[in-house]
Structure formats: C-alpha cells, structure tokens
Structure 1
Amino acid sequence: MSNQYSYSIKDLALQDRPREKYILKGSHALTDAELIAILLRSGSRNETAIELAQHILKHFNNDLSKLSLCNYKQLKQFRGIGDTKAITLLAAFEIGKRRQHINNNLTKIHNSSDVDSAMRIELEGLKHEEFWILLLDHQNHIIEKHRSSKGGLTSTTVDLRLIIREAMIHSATQIILVHNHPSGSLTPSKQDLDITLKINNGLKIVDIKLLDHLIITNDNYFSMADHGILSTI
C-alpha cells in the first residue's frame, strides 16, 4: 500500500481553515492564497487547496493582476485544476472586472494616475493596439469611455470627425486620449505625436480641450501632459 498522503484543508486547525477564518476574522484577515483556496474548495492529491493556490500565485509572481489576465488553458495546466475550478476562478475574475467598470462610471479625473486606473481594465493584457477617448464634463467627471479604433494606430484609423461627433453627442467639454503599446514601450512614436497634434488642432476649432494623451502598457503608463508634450504642440 502506498504511503502517499492525500491532503485536505480539514487537516488544518479549525482557526486556520479559510472558510472558518473568514467567518471568525473577516475577509481582510485572509491572504490572497486563502481567498483563492475558498474558490478552489479542494487541492490535488499532494497539495491542500491553500498550497495549490500558493503554487498558482507563485507562477504569476504573486501578482493578482497578472493572474486575473490568465485564460482557461493556462489555468488547466496546473495539476489539480479541472474544468469546474478553472471556470470558478475565471468567473470570479470577471466579476471583479465588471465591478471595476461600475466603479469607473462618473469617476472624477484629478491626474494621469486616475486616467490609468479608469482605462487599465480596458487595455491591460491586449495583444493589439486600441485607441480610446475619455469624454469629460467641465468638472472632469468621465461621461463616457469610447473605443475609437482597434489595431495599429495610424492617421487613417483615428478619425477626427468621429471623435468630435462623440464629444458633441455627449456634450463633453474636455477629452483625454488613451491608447496601449502591447510592445511595452512607453516612448511616444512620431505617429503618436502627429495624431495628438491633429486631434488637438481639430478640437480647438469646436472649443473642446485636450487634457492629456496616455500610453498604457501592462506595467506602467506615459502621460504627455505630465511630460510637457501637450504644451509644445
């Protein structure tokens, strides 16, 4: 008979079991691995649910943001993760993303970091470029987030007339441009600068202010306003 032992969360002390700990101490007392373990419910033959959760987190450098961007196939690669566990985790990630969408509604923009927070959920992890506009009222509240184009960023894919049309429809008085660089580069290209200049000049005609143009990567962002570029074009 094999001496291999099948682990279970039930082998932990009562106060260390994730569900019981949640009830006794609240969600803030639990580690990321313990919260994930609650979703997993069970581990593998050689790991408790907590150990499996720790194993998964370690694979993503203990970064919940990176974990939330993984897909079904990536999760299924872990021993002990079947269809039910993978779908449960993906559903939890999706709920978090949708909650973030709700929180971003009518957000007031104070600085470039706020723009990054509002747009990261739309752009993080994409393998292609997308160009978005944030439509703001005169108090810097986000009225609408609008994807203007998808694919490579060129003067032909970014239509100034459509941008102005969206601004007029929503009675926006200010606009922030946002696009991503899947390459990870934060340096604005000549194309980025040319498009920013074109849009800025067009918006001036209809008395709409361009506040900023952000380039977002998976790890960081670049603000043209913060770097004084908008004041020179």
Structure 2
Amino acid sequence: MENLDKAVSKPIKHWAPDDQPREKMMRKGAAALSNSELLAILIGSGRKEKSAIDISKEILRMGNDNLNELGKLSLKSFQKIKGIGLARAVAIAAALELGRRRNSADLIEKISVKNSGEVARYLQVMLKDYRHEVFAVLYLNRANKVRNFEIVSQGGMTGTVADPRVILKRALEEEATSIILCHNHPSGNLKPSRADKELTIKIKQAASYLDIIVLDHIIVSEEGYFSFADEGLI
C-alpha cells in the first residue's frame, strides 16, 4: 500500500486504491477513515497544488483538530480556505449539523423532565455550537414527553430577546401542556441576569392564562448549567 503521507502530493485519483477515501470507505467502512479523509469525501476534489486531503487538514486545523470546535465555525470561516467555496462550506456545515443531531436524537428519548441535569445535558448538545446567545424552548405533551425543541430567537454575544407571544403561539400549535425555557451563555457565566428573571416571570404569567405550565428555565454553557426550578426561582 502506498504511504498516505507520500500520496498527498499527488491527486487522489492517482493514489493506490486502498488510499483513496471513497474506495477505502467502500472496502473497510466509514469507521476506518480519518477525519481528514471523511472531509475529503465531502469536498470531492482539491486544487492544482493541494489534494482534497490537504485542504481537509487545513479545515481541521481551523478547529484545532477538534470536531466540536469545528462545528462552531461559520460558513465564511470555511471559505477563507482556498478551494472552499460557498457550496463546499454549506456541505461541511450540513454534515456537522447532522452529526450534532444524531448525538442529540438518543438523548431526547431519555430525557426525564423531573431531572434538570438530564435536560441540561441535552441542551448543552443542542446549543454547544453557538458562539452567540440563543433562546430555545422545549415543548412537552400531557405525558411530559418532549414534542419539539425549537430555537425561537438569536442575539449577540451578551444577550437575546425572546417574544412570549411567539413562544406561546408555538406551544398552542404543538398542543403542549408544559414548556421548558432555555438559553445559553457563551461567556460561561451561568448566573441569570435581571432580564432573564423578568422574562421568565412574564412568560410564566402569560402561559398560565392558557393552562400551560412553565416547568423550568435552564441556562447552559460548556461549563455547566443553572436551573431556575432547582433554585426556587420559578
């Protein structure tokens, strides 16, 4: 088998079959491929002086060779690499989003709304790629099962504004009997602001007129979480 480090100086089509990412995946399965080889399949081809593998390694370095960090990059960030246009940047972002959703799919089935920690772990997966603040809602049915998760507003690095009317309209559409409010703090500081507390009270009061219960408001960051319910604030 041709050594992979030597092969990258030539176009992929000239590599030994076992070293070509697509052929390698068909023969050995996706698990046998490195991250750069999987990215190379998405990219499809390189440019004159660099193979798709070379470009993939450049992309991975942008995220410090960490897929979680890579998932936080914007389309414009990917396009800074020569050979990555909008179409390829979108394909990469879509693949990363699919991976994130796959990770969260099993979690949502196991969520116990009686346990703020389990809900918080799910929210950390769903919101970890956002470098700015977002406000989201979990809509639950009568059996306290999650019907839907939805981001209802996005803001800047320090805050976002959520409209109670939008939240409650969606709750009625989902036929939700209870909701869990949530947002992230990219800074890592989990202490709720005065605005966070006021908004929670406002939504809880409005929801009560529709017989919808606000079970909790959870703030998450990569470092941990803060539960309004656990702290007696709701």
TM-score normalised by length of structure 2: 0.70
Cα 1:6/1:186, change in 2 over 3 Å? same
Q: What amino acid maps onto 2:227 in structure 1?
A: M
Conservation of the 8 A alpha-carbon contact between 1:39 and 1:89? no
Q: What amino acid maps onto 2:124 in structure 1?
A: D
Structure 1 distance, partners of 2:145, 2:223, is 23
Q: What amino acid maps onto 1:60 in structure 2?
A: G
Structure 2 distance, partners of 1:132, 1:19, is 38
Match 1:66 to one of 69, 72, 91 = 69
Tell me the residue number matched to 2:191: 187
Tell me the residue number matched to 2:115: none
Conservation of the 8 A alpha-carbon contact between 2:42 and 2:88? yes
Structure 2 distance, partners of 1:223, 1:20, is 47
Q: Deviations over 1:53-100 (max 9, x none)?
A: 123202211222433443443223324x143xx522422422553686
Cα 1:98/1:197, change in 2 over 3 Å? same
Tell me the residue number matched to 1:115: 123
Conservation of the 8 A alpha-carbon contact between 2:75 and 2:93? no
Cα 1:140/1:29, change in 2 over 3 Å? farther
Shift of 1:158: 3.9
SS in 2 for 1:87: helix
Tell me the residue number matched to 1:52: 55
Tell me the residue number matched to 1:125: 130
Structure 2 distance, partners of 1:52, 1:46, is 10
Q: Deviations over 1:140-178 (max 9, x none)?
A: 333234554454456xx543x554454344321221101
Range with greater deviation from structure 2 (37-46 or 134-143): 37-46
Shift of 1:186: 2.6
Tell me the residue number matched to 1:94: 94
> Is residue 212 of structure 2 the alignment partner of residue 208 of structure 1?
yes
Cα 1:95/1:56, change in 2 over 3 Å? closer
Shift of 1:38: 1.8
Structure 1 distance, partners of 2:219, 2:95, is 26
Unpaired runs of at least 5, structure 2: 1-7, 113-117
Shift of 1:137: 0.7
Cα 1:168/1:78, change in 2 over 3 Å? closer
